[in-house]
Amino acid sequence: MKEFKINIDNNLKKSSKIISKKDYMNIVNNFKKYGAITFSNISSNINNVGDFIDLFSNSYSNDAKRRKVRFNNKKFRDVDVGFDEVILHSETSFSPTRPEIVWFYCNKPPKTNSGKTLICDGIDLWNNLSAETKIFFIGEPVCYSVKVPFEKKIQGIGKKKWYLDKPGVRKCYLNYKSQSIEFDYLKFAVQKSLYDDKLCFSNHLLVPVTGKQSEEQMMKKETVGKKKIPEKIMQEIKNKANLLKKAKIWKKYDLVMLDNIRFMHGREKINKKEKDRDIVTIQTSKTKFKNYFYN
């Protein structure tokens, strides 16, 4: 993970700019190259952190309802609550609303150093998979069955056919009884990264459909041909991802900028006596990288 030492509180004391144009372009270029950046001790002021993230964000994703809003700012949310391990995944990669960047900000680091955030580079993972596994996923899209709850209650009876203007969506319905939108989403588990022609294996395949480590919006996953992904292949993915994953040891006011198309992320199990760990997240739906940003 590439590291930067930028304190935007100090920058704002010296001028009206959060960062210089030179620093901005350096961050963009390194993000495109490495896909994962840590900003150490970036700011103690959450509003300044939000303004910094705005420089790289054209729009933000609507995060899952289970994650509480923080600091009276809808962009900031809690990470998943509880003490359990979080399995490696690319955020919302089972849906067309997948964000391009996921940010993590450390408000308070854990005293016990448990619950490290894990990342796995999908480019490295793809390069380390066997030819048999690569052949399988190059030719077999994955079909995720998804159920997304409505933000507000709507009136109606039964189900109604619906349309989402997103490639890969089929069998889309409004379900008035469950107050949700339901659809199948077809997506290859491997795709080109946003910034070069390299393939990256970054998806939701390792997350189970049922159980406490499951994703509540993901009802089912299988190949488009309704074939189960062979256990041998799934075991290879798990083993090689575990070998390639890297841990982030949190320090106060650290900020991580993660390419969500290229990388998967997760979390180690948290010590149940740990009460101090406080990590929040922001999801950038679409990036905003402009050479003329500071003109």
Q: How high is the pLDDT of residue 182?
A: 95
**pLDDT higher for 130 or 220?**
130
* CATH code assigned to 2-121+245-287: 3.60.130.10
Compute φ and ψ for 61, nearest 5 degrees. Answer: -85, 150
| Residues paired with residue 147 on neighbouring β-strands, in sequence order | 182
- Reply yes or no on whether the pLDDT at 99 is more than 90: yes
Burial class (CB in 10 A: 0-12, 13-18, 19+), 31: buried
Q: How high is the pLDDT of residue 63?
A: 64
d(CA 236, CA 174): 38
pTM score of the predicted model: 0.92
What are the structure tokens assigned to 219, written together? 């009802």
Cα angle at 199 between 245 and 226, to 5 degrees? 90
Tokens 């990388």 -> residue: 263
- Reply yes or no on whether the pLDDT at 118 is more than 70: yes
Q: Which ranges in the chain are annotated with CATH 3.60.130.10?
A: 2-121+245-287
Helix (H, G, I), strand (E, B) or coil at 179: coil
Residue 295: band (very low, low, confident or very high) from pLDDT cuts 50, 70, 90: very low
Residue pair 256/31 in contact by the 8 Å Cβ criterion: no
Q: What is the mean pLDDT of residues 46-66?
A: 87
Q: What is the mean pLDDT of residues 139-160?
A: 88
